[in-house]
Every structure is written in structure tokens, then in C-alpha cells.
Amino acid sequence: MIAREPPAFFHRGPSPLARLTFFTLAAVALMIADHRFHALDTVRTVLSLLAQPIQQVASAPSEALGRLAEYFSNQDRLMRENSELRTRVLEQSAAAQEARLLKAEQAHLLEMTQARSRYADSGTIAEVLYNARNPFTRKIVIDKGLGQAISAGMPVIDGTGVVGQVTNVGWFTSEVTLVTEKDQSVPVMIVRNGLRAVAVGSGKVGSIDVPFMPVAADIQNGDVFVTSGIDGTYPPGLVVATVTSVDKNAAYVFAKVVARPAAGVDNHRYVMVLPPAAAAAPRPEARGDEAPRKAGKDRARARRQP
Amino acid sequence: MSQPLRPADLTPLARDVMKMPASIGLIFFSFVAAYLLMVLPWSGAWLASRPDFLLLVLLFWSLHQPRSIGQGIAFFAGLLMDVSDSMLLGQHALAYVIAMFGAQVFRVRILTFPIPEQTLHILGLTLVSGCVMLVLNLLLGADFPGFAFFVSPVVTAILWGPVNWILYLPAVRRRRGATS
């Protein structure tokens, strides 16, 4: 520390220590406001709007490289992909026809009971710009935002399953928190027997935990989890994960179940943002914070209680 | 102007040169360039070793231009990084402000040393700011990201020499132009 202070000839403003105290308090206040009350979303939006041109310039070279690589990509690979896709279309057309039939049937039934369909008809296709540059969380940034009517809480899927949930929206981009993010929970059920559970991200690449499954629960390797739809965020029936290991040890109250996310959570180029599921049953009581992630946690907590 | 510029003959001269105030344009441009480097699409191992260019430029100007660049600028630069790295608002701000405080307090001491010793001082400051970020995130419930997290502060400090060289260049050119 420098003990000597300069003579007070010149106006120098507050001392470094005073400034440090002031800015530390300001930073802590900001963090609390952001973390506890989510009060700074407008600040975030405005700041990200300011930084947008530079971000665009920064991501331009890699994007251009990617496009160039795509342009010169192997004829072979394209043909193989094409034939693969064609067979998949054939495979799926039967299912699609059946789905059309089922949908008509469902519409008929819904009409009779005067309820609304839980399924949304359309989504927004978005391109993944980059992984969020944050070593602590698992998020991706997509190229659609407020301009395309994206809002926080919307589920995001790709061709094979649930990718995650929109958690932050800017003007031109939004952040999607992946299902593998620590404590990101999705209410799921097993396709085979309808057993309900909550899939919770582990924070590691390609792994999802399913906590609080009783040792006696009927669950085995290869079981497929789909969204159960009871949270009103994800429409029911989207594939979330496949069970990769079940550790049933009688010494513990719960079985240790680990699953692998179905969607290419870490390597997709295009994803689809679904509109929020049509209003489910009203929630029992209004709570203070309505942020989607928090709400997911609350629901998970609520489910654990008898 | 005839012989090429070597980093070696810069350092003795440099302290003197930098007494001339750097132009606001250069300072602004250096911040824009640093931010641009920060928001390249880093990911994976690259992200873990991404040097904090913005912190480097902040430290450089707070050492050489203490009247114009201080904790306030660091705070706002930090907020900008929080938004673009999708972190909690205020984390980078706090880390930067603390590092800047260190630079301000040890300014005279750091400037008496040549670049290699300065690098060690900068390493201390970058490690402190890295630790602030780490502790904040651990408090928020994140998992420890592994010791690879400390690669970034080290790489940042190693870049102190090159950053010095680059940011000195315009001032040296100007001076040489004036004397010859």
C-alpha cells in the first residue's frame, strides 16, 4: 500500500479504496437484484443491444468458414445423407398418417368435451449461433429473439428430443438453457409404464440425473423418458432421455438413475422453439417469482412433497 | 525511423514516452478490439484458456493513463462482459474492479519493473480476479469447473508483454516522428 497521499493541490476525487467500496457494493446490489428478483432484464436487453454489432463482427469469420466448409463438403456425404433422409421420410410417413388420423380423432373428442388441444401446431426454427462463453453453465445462444416473438420459458427441441428452455431473450438472440444444466428440471414419465419422475440436469456433458426414484421403482436400462406435460411448459410426449444406468442399492432410500439426453444437446445446428404449451390447469397459488427456471424448481420441489 | 523497432529498446524508453497522454481514440479502439477478441465464439478447452483481453487493456491503461481509465470504466466493461457471457449481472464487474484497485494501489511499484517482473504482478491481479469469479459462482451453486479454470488467468498474464508492445507502438511512432 502507498501510505503517502498526494498533496491536495489537485482535485483527484475519492480515494481508490472509497471507489472500490462503492463499486463493490454496487456490484453486489446488482447481483442480488439479478439473482433474487430478476429485476434487470431490461438492463440486460439494452446492454446486449449495444454490444450486438461487435458480437456480429466477432461471429462472422467462423460463420463464414462454416458455410464455406459446407459448400465444399463431400458429394459422397451429401448423397449418403440424402438417401438416409429419404428412408427416414418413408419410415415416418406411416406414422405421420396415423398421427393425422389420431389428431382428427382427438379434435373430435376435444370438441365433445369442449377442451383445447395441448399440442401447439407450429414452432420457430432457429439457428444455434454459439455455446455461451461461460464455463459454469450449459447454455446455447440462438438467432431468434423478441423480434420473432420468442419469450422466456419456451421449450426448445431438435429432431430427436428436448434441447432445453429459453431463459433469456434479447432483441436478436436468446439464450437457451440446456436440459443438462445443473438443476434444470423437466417433469418426465417412462413411456413403457407411465411412471412419473423429474429429470434433473447434472451439469456434465451428456448426462441427466433422475433423483428420488424409490429402489422398488420399475425402471431399467434403456427406458425412454418423455415429457409428461404436467408442468404446463413442455408439451407432453417429447423425448427427453434414455436411461443408461440404474443403481439399486438397498442401503440407500433412492435408486441412482442416470440417463443420456436424447437430443443432440451439444452438437446441433438448428433447433425449434415451440410456443408455450396451451394453458394447463391453473396453479394452486400465485407465487412471487415467475421466472421459468425457478418455477421448474418449485414444481420439482412440490412434486417431492407428499 | 530507418532501423526496425525491437521490443528490447522499447522498455527503457517507454515509461518516458507514455508520459504523453495517449489519444482517446487509441484507448477507445483498444477497448473495442479487446471486446471483439473476448466475444469470438470460444468454446470447450479454448474457452477455458481464453485470455481476458479486456482486463489486460483495462490494467494497461490504469497503469499508464490513471487519470482517464479507472474503476468506473472497469465496472461498465464488466457489466458488458456479464451480459455477453450470459452470467449473473455484476460478476465480471466486481472481478474487474478489484483487479483495478490492485493496479491503482501498486501502480508506482509495478511501473518500476521491466516487463517480465511486471508480468508476475499482473499474474497476481488476474488470479485474484479469476478467484473472485470462481468463488461467486461456487456460492451460486455451480460445480467446480476444474483446475483448467486457472489456465485463463495465467495466459492473460503471459500476454502482458505482447499487449504492452502493441499498445506502445502508436506512441513510440509519434515520438520518433517528432524527434527525427
Test mutation, A23, A28, A127, A167, chain B, max B CBs within 10 A: A23
- For residue B88, the Cα-to-chain-centroid distance in whole angstroms is 22
3-state secondary structure of A44: helix
Amino acid at A94: A
* Chain A nearest CA to B67, separation (Å): 9
Show Cβ contacts of residue A116 under 8 Å, excluding neighbours closer than 6 positions: A110, A278, A279
The mean per-residue pLDDT over the stretch B34-49 comes to: 86
* Cβ atoms B48, B152 nearer than 8 A: yes
The percent of residues in chain B predicted with pLDDT above 90, rounded, is 49
Q: What is the pLDDT of residue A9?
A: 62
B120-173 pLDDT per residue, tens = 999 999 999 999 999 999 998 888 888 888 999 999 999 999 998 898 777 666
Q: What is the pLDDT of residue A304?
A: 45
Q: What is the pLDDT of residue A295?
A: 46
Provide, as residue numbers in chain B, all residues whose Cβ is less than 8 Å from the Cβ of A58.
Answer: 36-37, 39-41
Q: What is the pTM of this model?
A: 0.77
Q: Judge: A183–B141 Cβ closer than 8 Å, yes or no.
A: yes
Residue that wins the pLDDT comparison between B59 and A48: B59
- Reported ipTM: 0.82
Q: What cell was used for A100?
A: 393425422
Q: What cell was used for A85?
A: 433422409
CA distances from B157 to A217, A296, B111, B129, B162 (A): 54, 41, 15, 12, 10
* Cβ atoms B103, B124 nearer than 8 A: no
Judge whether residue A117 has pLDDT over 80.
no
Tell whether A1 is within 8 A of chain B (Cβ). yes
HSE (side-chain half, CA atoms, 13 Å) at A18 = 4
B21-41 pLDDT per residue, tens = 778 888 999 999 999 999 888
pLDDT band with cut points at 50, 70 and 90 for residue A294: very low
The mean per-residue pLDDT over the stretch A137-154 comes to: 88
Crossing angle of the two packed helices B151-158 and B53-64, in degrees rounded to 10: 40
Q: What is the pLDDT of residue A305?
A: 44
A58-72 pLDDT per residue, tens = 888 877 887 787 777
Q: What is the pLDDT of residue A77?
A: 83
3-state secondary structure of B79: helix
The mean per-residue pLDDT over the stretch A217-223 comes to: 89
Nearest to B123 by CA among B97, B152, B166, B144: B152
Q: Judge: B47–A133 Cβ closer than 8 Å, yes or no.
A: yes
Crossing angle of the two packed helices B71-84 and B24-38, in degrees rounded to 10: 30
Q: What is the pLDDT of residue B158?
A: 95
Q: Which residue of A48, A57, A141 is in closest CB contact with B36?
A: A57
CA distance A171 to A41: 12
Q: What is the pLDDT of residue A215?
A: 85
Mean pLDDT of all residues in chain B? 84
Judge whether residue A273 has pLDDT over 80.
yes
β-bridge partners, A186: A199
Q: What is the pLDDT of residue A90?
A: 86
Q: Judge: A62–B40 Cβ closer than 8 Å, yes or no.
A: yes
Q: Which of A238-242, B42-46, B100-104 has the lowest mean pLDDT?
A: B42-46
The mean per-residue pLDDT over the stretch A136-162 comes to: 87
* Chain A nearest CA to B63, separation (Å): 13
Q: Which of the 8 DSSP states describes residue B2?
A: -
Crossing angle of the two packed helices A41-71 and B71-84, in degrees rounded to 10: 60
Judge whether residue B47 has pLDDT over 60.
yes
Residue that wins the pLDDT comparison between A288 and A264: A264
β-bridge partners, A225: A190, A241
Q: Judge: B94–A55 Cβ closer than 8 Å, yes or no.
A: no
Q: Judge: B41–A137 Cβ closer than 8 Å, yes or no.
A: no
* Chain B nearest CA to A135, separation (Å): 7
The mean per-residue pLDDT over the stretch B1-14 comes to: 54
Q: Judge: B80–A131 Cβ closer than 8 Å, yes or no.
A: no
* Cβ atoms B79, B150 nearer than 8 A: no
Mean pLDDT of all residues in chain A? 80
Q: What is the pLDDT of residue B136?
A: 93
* Chain B nearest CA to A136, separation (Å): 6
The 3-state secondary structure of A123-190, one letter per residue: CEEEEEEEECCCCCCCEEEECCCHHHCCCCCCEEECCCCEEEEEEEECCCCEEEEECCCCCCEEEEEE
* Chain B nearest CA to A198, separation (Å): 19
Q: Which residue of A29, A43, A131 is in closest CB contact with B43?
A: A131
CA distance B167 to B57: 9
* Cβ atoms B102, B58 nearer than 8 A: no
A124-136 pLDDT per residue, tens = 888 888 888 888 8
Q: What cell was used for B37?
A: 477478441
Q: What is the pLDDT of residue B7?
A: 53
Q: Judge: B36–A59 Cβ closer than 8 Å, yes or no.
A: no
The 3-state secondary structure of B95-116, one letter per residue: HHHHHHHHHHHCHHHHHCCCHH
Show Cβ contacts of residue A277 under 8 Å, excluding neighbours closer than 6 positions: A118, A120, A155, A229, A232, A233, A234, A235
Q: What is the pLDDT of residue B67?
A: 82
* Cβ atoms A227, A187 nearer than 8 A: yes
Kind plus residue range of the DSSP H or E element containing A240 = strand A239-247
Q: Judge: B101–A17 Cβ closer than 8 Å, yes or no.
A: yes
CA distances from A66 to A61, A70, A72 (A): 9, 6, 10
Show Cβ contacts of residue A168 under 8 Å, excluding neighbours closer than 6 positions: A41, A44, A152, A174, A175, B86
The mean per-residue pLDDT over the stretch A111-126 comes to: 66
Q: What is the pLDDT of residue A199?
A: 92
Nearest to A166 by CA among A141, A191, A148, A147: A141
Judge whether residue B42 has pLDDT over 90.
no
Q: Is B85 exposed, middle or buried (0-12, 13-18, 19+ CB in 10 A)?
A: buried
Q: What is the pLDDT of residue A283?
A: 61
Judge whether residue B16 has pLDDT over 60.
no
Judge whether residue B102 has pLDDT over 90.
yes
Q: Judge: A24–B98 Cβ closer than 8 Å, yes or no.
A: yes
- Partner B, chain A 229-268, Cβ-Cβ below 8 Å: none
Judge whether residue A38 has pLDDT over 50.
yes
CA distance B36 to B68: 22
